[in-house]
Chain A
Amino acid sequence: MELIVIFISASIVNNFVLSLFLGICPFIGVSNKFSSAVSMGLATTFVMVITAMVSWLLYFKLLLPFHLTFLQIPAFILVIAALVQFVEMVIKKVSQPLYRALGIFLPLITTNCAILGLALLLVMRDYSFVESIVFGLGSGAGFILALSIMAGIREELELRDVPKAFQGAPITLIVAGILALAFMGFAGMI
Chain B
Amino acid sequence: MKKKVTLWYEFFKGVWDINPAFKQILGMCPTLAVTVSAINGIAMALATTFVLVFSSLIISLVRKLIPSQVRIAAYIVIIASFVTIVDMVMKAQFQELSKALGPFIPLIVVNCIILGRAEAFASKNTPFRAILDALGNGAGFLLALFVIGGIREILGSRTLLGFQVLPNSYDPMIVMILPAGAFLTFGLLMGFANAYALRKNRKVAETNIFKYKLEREKLKATEV
* Chain A residues within 8 Å of B, Cβ to Cβ: 18-25, 28, 70-74, 77-78, 81, 111-113, 116-117, 120-121, 124, 163-166, 169-174, 176-178, 180-181, 184
Contacts and interface: CB of A to CB of B under 8 A. Distances in A.
B88 A78 contact: no
A73 B183 contact: no
A170 B192 CA distance: 9
Contact of A21 (B76, B80, B179, B188): B179
Contacts of A71: 84
A169 B25 contact: yes
Interface in B74-120: 76-77, 80-81, 83-84, 87-88, 102-103, 106-107, 109-112, 115
Contacts of A120: 103, 106-107
A78 B33 CA distance: 24
Contact of A169 (B33, B87, B102, B190): B190
A25 B184 contact: no
Contacts of B111: 113
B103 A21 contact: no
Given A73-B83, A176-B187, A181 B175 contact: yes
B183 A74 contact: no
Nearest to A124: B103
A73 B106 contact: yes
Given A24-B28, A70-B88, A180-B180, A171 B187 contact: yes
Interface residues of B, number: 42
B73 A81 contact: yes
Contacts of B109: 73, 77, 116
Given A73-B80, A177-B187, A184-B180, A113 B25 contact: no
Interface of B: 25, 28-30, 32-33, 73, 76-77, 80-81, 83-84, 87-88, 102-103, 106-107, 109-112, 115, 175, 178-184, 186-188, 190-192, 194-195, 197-198
A177 B183 CA distance: 5
B32 A24 contact: yes
B110 A28 contact: no
**What 7 A-B pairs have minimum CB-CB distances, sorted nearest first?**
A173-B187, A177-B183, A165-B195, A21-B33, A170-B191, A177-B184, A165-B194
A169 B25 CA distance: 8
A113 B29 contact: yes
Main secondary structure of the interface of B (DSSP, over half): helix
Contact of B76 (A77, A165, A171): A77
A166 B32 contact: no
Contacts of A172: 187
Q: Which of A111, A112, A166, A173 has its CB near the most chain B CB atoms (within 10 A)?
A: A173
Nearest to B80: A74
B187 A174 contact: yes
Nearest to A25: B28
A78 B80 CA distance: 9
Nearest to B84: A73
B33 A20 contact: yes
Contacts of B198: 164-165
B184 A165 contact: no
B9 to A, nearest CB: 26
8 contacts: A18-B179, A21-B29, A112-B110, A163-B195, A166-B195, A170-B190, A176-B183, A184-B180
A80 to B, nearest CB: 9
Contact of A173 (B80, B103, B183): B183
A24 B182 CA distance: 12
Given A25-B112, A73-B87, A170-B194, A177 B107 contact: no
A113 B33 CA distance: 12
A95 B33 CA distance: 38
